A and B are shown apart, each in its own frame.
Chain A
Amino acid sequence: MKKNLPLAIVIIGGFVWVLWAFIPHKVFSDDFINKFYLPWIYVQAPFGVVLGVMSLVMMHTSKIQRKAPKWQYSFFALGGLLITCIAGFGWGTQNGTPLMWMFTNMQMPMSSTMFALLAFYIASAAYKAFRARSPEATVLLLAALVVMLAQVPLGLKISKNLPDISQWILDVPNNAAKRGILLGIGLGGVATSLKILLGIERSYLGGGD
Chain B
Amino acid sequence: MSFETFSNLVAAFFTLCIFSFLYKDNPFYQMAEQLLVGISVGYGVVYSYERIFIPWLYQPIFLKHQYYLIFPALIGALYLFRFSRNLSWLSRYPIAFSMMSVGAGVPLSMHAGILVQMRQAMVPLESINLMLIFIGTIAVLLYFYFSKAHTGVYGKFTTVGKWYMMIGFGASFGLTVMARISLLIGRIQFLVGDVLHLIK
- Residues of A bordering B, CB below 8 Å: 2-3, 5-7, 9-10, 13-18, 20-22, 37, 39-54, 56, 58, 70, 73-74, 76-85, 87-89, 93, 99, 101-120, 122-123, 126, 136-137, 139-148, 151, 168-187, 189-190, 192-194, 196-197, 204-206, 208-209
Q: Which chain B residues lie closer than 8 Å to A7 at the CB level? A: 96
* Cβ A17 vs Cβ B103 within 8 A: yes
- Contact status of A194 and B106, CB under 8 A, knowing A17-B101, A73-B31, A206-B88: yes
- Contact status of A172 and B171, CB under 8 A, knowing A9-B96, A47-B76, A49-B48: no
* Cβ A140 vs Cβ B137 within 8 A: no
* Cβ A10 vs Cβ B100 within 8 A: yes
> Closest 5 A-B residue pairs measured CB to CB?
A186-B113, A80-B38, A84-B42, A176-B136, A180-B140
- Cα distance, A9 to B75, chains bound together (Å): 13
* Cβ B43 vs Cβ A77 within 8 A: no
Among the interface residues B14, B96, B140, B174, which one has the most CB atoms of the partner chain A within 10 A?
B174
Question: Least Cβ distance of A50 to chain B in Å?
Answer: 7
- Cα distance, A53 to B80, chains bound together (Å): 11
* Cβ B18 vs Cβ A114 within 8 A: yes
Contact of B34 among A74, A116, A192, A206 (CB under 8 A): A74
Given A3-B92, A88-B47, list of 10 further CB < 8 A pairs?
A: A9-B97, A43-B72, A81-B38, A85-B42, A106-B11, A112-B183, A139-B170, A140-B166, A143-B166, A186-B109
Q: Which chain A residues lie closer than 8 Å to B196 at the CB level? A: none
Among the interface residues B14, B96, B171, B178, which one has the most CB atoms of the partner chain A within 10 A?
B171
- Cα distance, A165 to B75, chains bound together (Å): 56
- Cα distance, A40 to B27, chains bound together (Å): 44
* Cβ A186 vs Cβ B112 within 8 A: yes
- Cα distance, A83 to B140, chains bound together (Å): 51
* Cβ B184 vs Cβ A43 within 8 A: no
Contact of A190 among B53, B99, B106 (CB under 8 A): B106
Q: Which chain A residues lie closer than 8 Å to B173 at the CB level? A: 122, 126, 140, 144
Question: Least Cβ distance of B185 to chain A in Å?
Answer: 8
* Cβ A113 vs Cβ B114 within 8 A: no
Task: Give the number of A-B contacts (CB < 8 Å).
Answer: 404
- Contact status of A204 and B95, CB under 8 A, knowing A58-B83, A186-B112: yes
Please tell me if B192 contacts chain A, counting CB pairs below 8 Å. Answer: no
Please tell me if B132 contacts chain A, counting CB pairs below 8 Å. Answer: yes
- Cα distance, A12 to B88, chains bound together (Å): 23
- Contact status of A180 and B184, CB under 8 A, knowing A10-B102, A47-B76, A190-B110: no
Please tell me if B118 contacts chain A, counting CB pairs below 8 Å. Answer: yes
Chosen A-B contacts, 14 in total, with CB atoms closer than 8 Å, are: A10-B100, A16-B100, A18-B107, A41-B101, A44-B94, A48-B79, A51-B80, A73-B30, A81-B45, A107-B40, A137-B166, A148-B174, A173-B167, A174-B171
Please tell me if B129 contacts chain A, counting CB pairs below 8 Å. Answer: yes
* Cβ B42 vs Cβ A83 within 8 A: yes
Q: Which chain B residues lie closer than 8 Å to A179 at the CB level? A: 117, 120-121, 133, 136-137, 140
* Cβ A147 vs Cβ B42 within 8 A: no
- Cα distance, A193 to B99, chains bound together (Å): 10
- Contact status of A109 and B187, CB under 8 A, knowing A58-B83, A177-B140: yes
- Contact status of A174 and B172, CB under 8 A, knowing A73-B30, A183-B114, A184-B144: yes
Question: Least Cβ distance of B87 to chain A in Å?
Answer: 10
Q: Which chain B residues lie closer than 8 Å to A93 at the CB level? A: 46-47, 50
Q: Which chain A residues lie closer than 8 Å to B165 at the CB level? A: 177, 180-181
